[in-house]
Amino acid sequence: MTVTPLDLTQRLAGKVAVITGGASGIGLATAQRFAAEGATVVIGDVDETTGRAAAQSVDGLFVRVDVTDEEQVDALFAAANDTYGSVDIAFNNAGISPPDDDSIVTTELPAWQKVQDVNLKSVYLCCRAALRYMVTQGSGSIINTASFVAVLGSATSQISYTASKGGVLAMSRELGVQFARQGIRVNALCPGPVDTPLLQELFASDTARAQRRLVHVPIGRFAKPQELAASVAFLASDDASFITGSTFLVDGGISAAYVTPE
């Protein structure tokens, strides 16, 4: 019997992928991974300079977007469909973790609302926009970036961030169930701490805070953006064809640990 070898470098060939927050961090690493696996990539980001450079690096399309704005989000997904003919993958990844989002006793309402808008409202808007095309096609994969803090309580609180990611997780689960029989999969990616510019900025002035978090990671280090990108590419591909509504933890063992190893 002749066995045809698998070519995983073309696992996403012919697919059109939209990535928000694609100019840096996990989003950029995923854009590069998607392109390496054969996908056509559309990067949505608020930063035009880094966004255009990221799109150019993967021979893709850049669309400037404020992910909290409904019209701009709709225009992002319309541009992908109008330019390339479909929307097959949506990686709704844009998010923020500002310093004024801290304990509930010190986090004021404007800080709370800003994080909810960028981290949760944007995912709602992006899912709704992507689904317009995916329902018509009868196929699609949506991956929403949640967090390990959606399933664990954190003693170093970022109250609005945690709440927003819990919302992303619950919404992804419901959409995964609701649209499963229409050929559309929706999953929540739940990263542990990842060595990205966002995390570096968060810990730059407080190395002790970084070490307090690092000690809880059984693997003993923060994740690399490329490790998360590999997980997103899996969820986007047909290799994950029986996975929907999942809490896809990529956390170095944090959520499995009662105590950390020495």
Selection from 57, 1, 2 nearest residue 24 by Cα: 57
What letter represents residue 123's amino acid? V
- SS3 sequence of 206-238: CHHHHHHHHCCCCCCCCECHHHHHHHHHHHHCH
Segment 20-49 shows an average pLDDT of 97
Mean pLDDT, residues 256-262:
80
Predicted confidence (pLDDT) per residue in 171-183, tens digit: 999 999 999 999 9
Give the pLDDT confidence of 43-100 residue by residue, as tens digits. 999 999 999 999 999 999 999 999 999 999 999 999 999 999 999 999 999 999 999 9
Question: How confident is the model at residue 221, as a pLDDT?
Answer: 87
Q: What is the mean pLDDT of residues 183-192?
A: 98
Considering the entire predicted model, what is its pTM? 0.93
Q: What pLDDT digit, counting tens, does each position of 192-227 carry?
A: 999 877 667 666 666 776 777 788 899 988 899 999
Domains of the chain with CATH codes: 12-194+224-242 (3.40.50.720)
Residue type, 10: Q
Considering only residues 23 and 6, tell me which one the structure prediction assigns the higher pLDDT: 23
**pLDDT band for position 132 (cuts 50, 70, 90):** very high
Choose the catalytic residue: 84, 124, 133, 161.
161
Q: Is 161 in the active site? A: yes
Rounded distance between C-alpha atoms, residue 245 and residue 176, angstroms: 4
Q: What is the pLDDT of residue 171?
A: 98
